[in-house]
Structure 1
Amino acid sequence: MMSQKMMTMVKVWRRVIPLKMRLLLIIQWEMFLLNGTRMKSTLDMILLGRRLRRKRKIYDEYNDEIVELTKEETRMIRRVLKGMAPHPEFDPYPTAVDWVTIDKAEHPFPDAPEPKRRFVPSKWESKMIVRLVRGIRKGLIKVDDKPKEENRVYLLWGDDRNLTERHHIPPPKPKLPGHEESYNPSLEYIPTAEEVKKYELMYEEDRPKFIPKRFTSMRSVPAYDKAVRESFDRCLDLYLCPRTQKKRINIDPESLKPKLPSRKDLKPYPTTCYLEYKGHKGPVVSISTDSTGQWIASGSNDGTVRVWEVESGRCFRVWELGEAVQHVAWNPSPELPVLAVSVGQDVFLLNTGLGNDEENRRVDDLLHVESHMAHNEPGASEAIISETIVKWSRDDNHGAIRLNHYKTVSSVEWHRKGDYFSTLMPYGESKAVLVHQLSKGLTQRIPFKLHGLPVSTAFHPTRSIFFISTKKNVRIYDLLKQRLIKKLETGVREVSSIAIHPGGDNVIVGSKDGKLCWFDMDLSSQPYRVLNCHPKDITRVAFHRSYPLFASSSDDCTAYVFHGMVYSDLNQNPLIVPLEILRGHASVNGRGVLDCKFHPRQPWLFTAGADSVIKLYCH
């Protein structure tokens, strides 16, 4: 029966009282039950719920009191229940503001101008400095007052404690016996009776310590008579001789070699003998090519000068001079096909006749001897030599001009413009080097004092500089300022020839001890490289006009070809690479290749030998 009444009360409860009121009554009922207080009636409970709801009061169970909520707190609770921020003023997604701008600011943020005191020396700092200076002068303030160094007391033998920490150097091991100390050595180790006698005549220091002998068996080997002596000497060495520990560095020998480019990358250069020019009956001492590269001239000891066509090898013309030719030099100007030949004390200026009609007519007018008497005029310079030293005359036999000197002329060198040329008389003393002008027929000596016996001369390819090589060094003179610029110290036994690089800043020097020296005049007066390439005397060295090549010829019947690259960058040194060894000439009376010249336009090399043959080597 009770269960039915309860069910009926629950139904009435649900119909009469709303849901919120029911929840509030249940909460208040439990609250009063916990506090030990019980409601008087249901009406009191309903009135209490209405009062709490109207005044927004809640019971604080921790502090046991009823707390009244404000509207803001109620609003905050409702926002939290909805999942929103407690404060309505809070914006969870504010608008982004860029504090750093990309645009360049034209004015500073603090726009206040700098005060004047920042640009004016401080008055109070100056007073402080004056006060410090006065204090230093009066001695009240001491500057760099270093403490006095007291004599440090130390133990006299205090360093001996560290001797145990030093590394122990083991004694050297004795030499192990070799094959010669065998009881049955090979026959090549057994000396003959004559060799044994030679050993006995030697000093004890140079004499071998053991003479090998041969025995039939090991049982027949006697006792070593020097065993005690050698053991005693070794003990003395271990006891008396100090030991040193040598630091050996393991270096790969290949890393010490210079890294040079491959020869295949440096082509073209002469490698093969392409053509031979035969016709001379004596050694060919000098050769020279014209500026076009079509013709080559050669001079021989048989007293003839020949002009050859390069491509075909045909002998175009022969001059019989009747005396051994010393040197031939072709005029570098293509408009003047003139060949200078030194024969004994004479220098011939020959008209080769290889130019056109206008060029030949100009050469004939230039070689007319009557137009070369300007040195007899009263206003001549003091440097001009009289006719007793050099005489200009007409040679009708060869259609040339003859310059008669008072000593033997060894070489002739042309200036790059083709109007001036120099002659060298090694034993001419103060007038050993003379400079001649072809257009005016003038001869003058250089205003420099020669130090030593001159060997060869050369003009600078681009500047007014003159090179004179003696047996020991090379002197460089400025013709305009008439002074010595530099002296190149070769360090060789005797200089034989020189050659100037087309750029003018590098010189190669050949010597009679087989050494070739490369000088970089911008770098030093000492050789940049010294190449020991030939076992015999170097007779001639030469540079190519356009290719980075240079060559040297020697009495060992060979000619060496090198790659010599000169860079415009002054911080980079020249690159020198050996390329090829050219062989083919035969030795006659101990002489081999006497001269070598490059083709002016092609990477070809001409060599003249003592076997009366001229060879052309091509790539």
Structure 2
Amino acid sequence: MSTILKRKRSDFAKEIESTGKEEEDLFVDVPMDEDDDDSDGDDSDLEDDSDDEQLEEEMTDSEEGAVSSGESQDSEENGDSAGDGGDDVGEEDRSDGDDEDDVAEQETSKPKSRGKLARLTWQLRPRRSHLQSSVKLDNETAPSQLTPADDNSGESGAGTSTGKEVDEYEFDSSDEEDIRNTVGNIPMEWYDDYPHIGYDVRGQMILRPPKRDELEEFLEKMDNPDYWRTVHDKMTGRDIVLPDEDVAFIQRIQDGRYPETTFDPYEPWIDFFTQEKMIHPVTRRPEHKRSFIPSLLEKEKVSKMLHSIRMGWMKPRQEKKKDEDDRPKFYDIWSNESQVELTRRHHAHIAAPKERLPGHEESYRPPPEYLPTEEEIKEWKEAHPEDRKMDFLPQTFDCFRKVPAYRDYVRERFERCLDLYLCPRQRKMRVQVQPEDLLPKLPKPKDLQPFPTTQAVVYLGHRSYVRTISVDPTGQWLVSGSDDETVRFWEVSSGRCMKKLDMEGTVRCVAWCPNPAVCLVAVSVEQRVHLVNPGLGDKLVVSDTDRLLEAYEEPEEAKTSPLVEWSEAPEEAKEKGFRLCLKHFKTKQIAWHGKGDYFGTVVPDGGHSSVLIHQLSKRRSQTPFKKSKGLVQTISFHPSRPYFFVATQRFVRVYNLLKQELTKKLLTTAKWISSIAIHPGGDNVLVGSYDCRLSWFDMDLSVKPYKTLRHHRQAIRHVCYHRRYPLFASSGDDGLVIVCHGQVYNDLLQNAQIVPVKILRGHEVTNSLGVLACEFHPSQPWLFSSGADGTVRLFT
């Protein structure tokens, strides 16, 4: 017996017990009438006992009658259900009616005894009979509610139906309780990182069920016959087996049928609104104004469509092509060509050129400027037909009907046919070139790091133009020369001025010896070149440098050059750091050899001796050229080979010092060269000019520039390469220092890759002069620059 029936029985027992208590209270509390009290107590007791016995007999008789009537009714219902299952509802209605009649008869019947206790008992009988009938109805309806499909039950009322709709929320059973996830309609992926999958109605966590691996999943697929109808519920993490009703529901949807079996799409349609003709209208509401006025929205749509058709944006519907099957087909029965040859011929077809459209001169009344004069008519008649611009003479007529027949019509048509038949045709392919395809695909600057991007240190101290700077081989010290006749030595990391030398003139150039074993700086001031030992850095290197210079012994027959005079500095100057002094013409530039023993100077006023090469160990100088081939601007040594680069105003000449001959002559497009720089590999040369051009030369490729950049708005003052990183920089009078990435490949078939990466700003333009010099750090991707504003800046 289900929990619902148990609960009903228990409720009924409680109600009967409460009814019994009420009866006892009534029996105790009811007072006796004076008329009923007899003087003889025994007689009254006997009468009361007889009345009670009579009341109990009547109650038992009524109960037995009710039970017997119920059993007979059940038997009749069982028989009717066995005979005809369609009459269950009617029989049940009749049984209910019989019960109601019995109760009514009991209520209307009067009690035989006239005592007050009997009357109170008689008033309680309808309530008791009503409770018995309600229990009977519950016993009949409960099995049909629980198991409506079970027809083989032996209990009373098992095969019957009440015919009443039962509310599914009226009863509840603990056997049907299920775990319900209350997280709502959310993605369950949010709980992937948690051990639970949600919360139940009590707020407790629902733990994640164990997950089967692939082997267990395969065994489940092989062993479980209901695997094909099992689905996984993400909300609870369980596998649910679909019942037959759901499977049939899904199959009907897959077959394209209606999901509900009770739905009849072809049920007769009942015209419930117009099947009966009414005398009066349904509504007397007047028609709306928009029902008889043209729509403004439709007018606007039509106007837009007309405008689109006129502009060519919208095309009207094209007429449908007639089927080719409707047309008569003719076959060439003598043709030997296959279908492949025919299709090949069709694909190779070249359309004939169209004829020229007639112009104004062919009009029957052309404008006066198109009519030829007598001289033009005479020239046209005397000229050869192939030399004539037009095949006819334009004429004018008053009206169109006076125009005669065209006499050259047949000849022109014949020539057109000859052109179509005899002239060969050629298809000219037009090359569609996108502008983006012409530009080289360059990498992004962020992929080419490291390179200097921000200003880190500003070296303050000079009061005029800082024309030249140089970094020592270790990268710890920096030397700068200015027009304020001073040379300053700086510590790179801190920006501190370590030493200051006063010169007697404008400092044109400073150059640190590239040999790390020697601490020596060459400074050009007017007509002198000073060799200075600043005494910075390693003390052993400083002492070795002085020892090297003092170890020189003058030969007996010294060959002195009339242009250069070597001399040692006096004692007072030696205390400041001066060691040697070279006197000659005004010096513009100093360039050291890679080993540190040779250095060259540019003397613009020297004539054929404008280039001098000095040897430090032997203290001698020489002029490599006997003749001057132009005004020398700058010089440089090859980093690894015995090559010497000399740049004049428009050319860069490369000399072999061993063979003493001209190796190469680089042809620049510049009008005035300002500076050059040699790549550490030695095969590429960077040339800057005063006409804002920056040229990259690949000597293995050509003597002409490989790339020419014009990213400076004013003259370029200095260019330089980095010794370790693929970087080069240029500075100009526009106050900018532009850093570029220049990757040189070992593969000779691949050209260098040049990408501008950064524009460095910081210097101020003073008197139309900007950044006068720039130099890379020997080991770090840092850049030093000096400008006309009297500052030296470090970019990192």
* TM-score for the superposition, normalised by structure 2: 0.46
| 1:313 corresponds to | 495
1:373 aligns with 2:554: yes
Q: In structure 1, what is the Cα distance between the partners aligned to 2:353 and 2:593?
A: 72
| 2:354 corresponds to | 167
**Aligned AA (2:781):** P
| 1:520 corresponds to | 698
Q: Is the 8 A contact 1:372 1:392 kept in 2?
A: no
1:270 aligns with 2:452: yes
CA distances 1:569-609 after superposition (whole Å, capped 9, x unpaired)? 11111111111111111111110000000010111111101
1:356 aligns with 2:531: no
Secondary structure (helix, strand or coil) at the match of 1:434 reads: strand
Q: In structure 2, what is the Cα distance between the partners aligned to 1:526 and 1:496?
A: 18
**Aligned AA (1:371):** Y
CA distances 1:172-210 after superposition (whole Å, capped 9, x unpaired)? 99xxxxxxxxxxxxxxxxxxxxxxxxxxxxxxxxxxxxx
Cα shift at 1:379: 6.9
Which residue of 589, 605, 616 corresponds with 1:427?
A: 605
CA distances 1:112-145 after superposition (whole Å, capped 9, x unpaired)? xxxxxxxxxxxxxxxxxxxxxxxxxxxxxxxxxx
| 1:533 corresponds to | 711
Which residue of 463, 469, 488 corresponds with 2:641?
A: 463
Q: In structure 2, what is the Cα distance between the partners aligned to 1:575 and 1:372?
A: 51
Which residue of 720, 728, 731 corresponds with 1:550?
A: 728
Identical pairs, percent: 46
| 1:496 corresponds to | 674
Q: In structure 2, what is the Cα distance between the partners aligned to 1:241 and 1:276?
A: 79
In the TM superposition, what are the counterparts of 1:122-271 in structure 2 within 5 Å?
166-169=353-356, 249-271=431-453
| 2:740 corresponds to | 562
Cα shift at 1:356: 3.0
After TM superposition, which residue ranges in structure 1, 4 or more long, deviate above 4 angstroms? Answer: 169-173, 230-236, 239-242, 245-249
Secondary structure (helix, strand or coil) at the match of 2:531 reads: strand
Q: In structure 2, what is the Cα distance between the partners aligned to 1:408 and 1:518?
A: 30
Which residue of 760, 768, 771 corresponds with 1:590?
A: 768
Cα shift at 1:362: 1.9
Cα shift at 1:404: 3.5
1:609 aligns with 2:787: yes
1:291 aligns with 2:473: yes
Q: CA 1:521–1:449 in 2, change beyond 3 Å: closer, same or farther?
A: farther
Cα shift at 1:392: 2.8
| 1:347 corresponds to | 529
**Aligned AA (2:703):** S
Q: Is the 8 A contact 2:532 2:580 kept in 1?
A: no
Which residue of 567, 570, 573 corresponds with 1:398?
A: 573
Q: Is the 8 A contact 1:385 1:445 kept in 2?
A: no
* Paired residues, number: 388
1:332 aligns with 2:514: yes
Aligned-residue CA RMSD in angstroms? 2.7
Which residue of 581, 596, 607 corresponds with 1:418?
A: 596
Which residue of 665, 670, 692 corresponds with 1:487?
A: 665
Q: In structure 2, what is the Cα distance between the partners aligned to 1:241 and 1:577?
A: 57
Q: CA 1:254–1:413 in 2, change beyond 3 Å: closer, same or farther?
A: same
**Aligned AA (2:552):** S
Q: In structure 1, what is the Cα distance between the partners aligned to 2:615 and 2:358?
A: 79
In the TM superposition, what are the counterparts of 1:103-122 in structure 2 within 5 Å?
none
| 2:561 corresponds to | 385
Q: In structure 2, what is the Cα distance between the partners aligned to 1:543 and 1:397?
A: 38
| 1:511 corresponds to | 689
In the TM superposition, what are the counterparts of 1:36-47 in structure 2 within 5 Å?
none
CA distances 1:57-93 after superposition (whole Å, capped 9, x unpaired)? xxxxxxxxxxxxxxxxxxxxxxxxxxxxxxxxxxxxx
Q: CA 1:509–1:385 in 2, change beyond 3 Å: closer, same or farther?
A: same
Cα shift at 1:529: 0.7
Q: In structure 2, what is the Cα distance between the partners aligned to 1:615 and 1:269?
A: 15
Q: Is the 8 A contact 1:372 1:442 kept in 2?
A: no
Q: In structure 2, what is the Cα distance between the partners aligned to 1:616 and 1:558?
A: 14
Secondary structure (helix, strand or coil) at the match of 2:581 reads: strand
Secondary structure (helix, strand or coil) at the match of 2:746 reads: coil
Q: In structure 2, what is the Cα distance between the partners aligned to 1:171 and 1:563?
A: 60
Cα shift at 1:264: 1.2
**Aligned AA (2:554):** M
Secondary structure (helix, strand or coil) at the match of 1:454 reads: coil
Q: In structure 2, what is the Cα distance between the partners aligned to 1:171 and 1:338?
A: 87
Higher share of residues assigned helix: 2
Cα shift at 1:232: 6.5
Q: In structure 2, what is the Cα distance between the partners aligned to 1:520 and 1:427?
A: 32
Q: In structure 2, what is the Cα distance between the partners aligned to 1:391 and 1:233?
A: 89
Q: In structure 2, what is the Cα distance between the partners aligned to 1:398 and 1:415?
A: 26
Which has the higher relative contact order, 1 or 2, with Cα contacts under 8 A spaced 6 or more apart?
A: 1
Secondary structure (helix, strand or coil) at the match of 2:695 reads: strand
Q: Is the 8 A contact 2:693 2:716 kept in 1?
A: yes
Secondary structure (helix, strand or coil) at the match of 1:275 reads: strand
Of the two, which has the highest radius of gyration? 2
Secondary structure (helix, strand or coil) at the match of 2:573 reads: coil
| 1:160 corresponds to | none
Q: In structure 2, what is the Cα distance between the partners aligned to 1:401 and 1:390?
A: 14
Q: In structure 2, what is the Cα distance between the partners aligned to 1:473 and 1:323?
A: 31
Q: Is the 8 A contact 1:306 1:319 kept in 2?
A: yes
Q: CA 1:440–1:261 in 2, change beyond 3 Å: closer, same or farther?
A: same
**Aligned AA (1:307):** F
Cα shift at 1:364: 1.7
Q: In structure 1, what is the Cα distance between the partners aligned to 2:684 and 2:558?
A: 39
Q: CA 1:247–1:430 in 2, change beyond 3 Å: closer, same or farther?
A: same
Which residue of 549, 571, 577 corresponds with 2:749?
A: 571
Q: Is the 8 A contact 1:471 1:495 kept in 2?
A: yes
Q: CA 1:265–1:359 in 2, change beyond 3 Å: closer, same or farther?
A: same
Cα shift at 1:326: 0.2
Q: CA 1:169–1:306 in 2, change beyond 3 Å: closer, same or farther?
A: farther
**Aligned AA (1:167):** K
Q: CA 1:321–1:569 in 2, change beyond 3 Å: closer, same or farther?
A: same
Secondary structure (helix, strand or coil) at the match of 1:585 reads: coil
Q: Is the 8 A contact 2:609 2:628 kept in 1?
A: no
Q: CA 1:536–1:165 in 2, change beyond 3 Å: closer, same or farther?
A: same
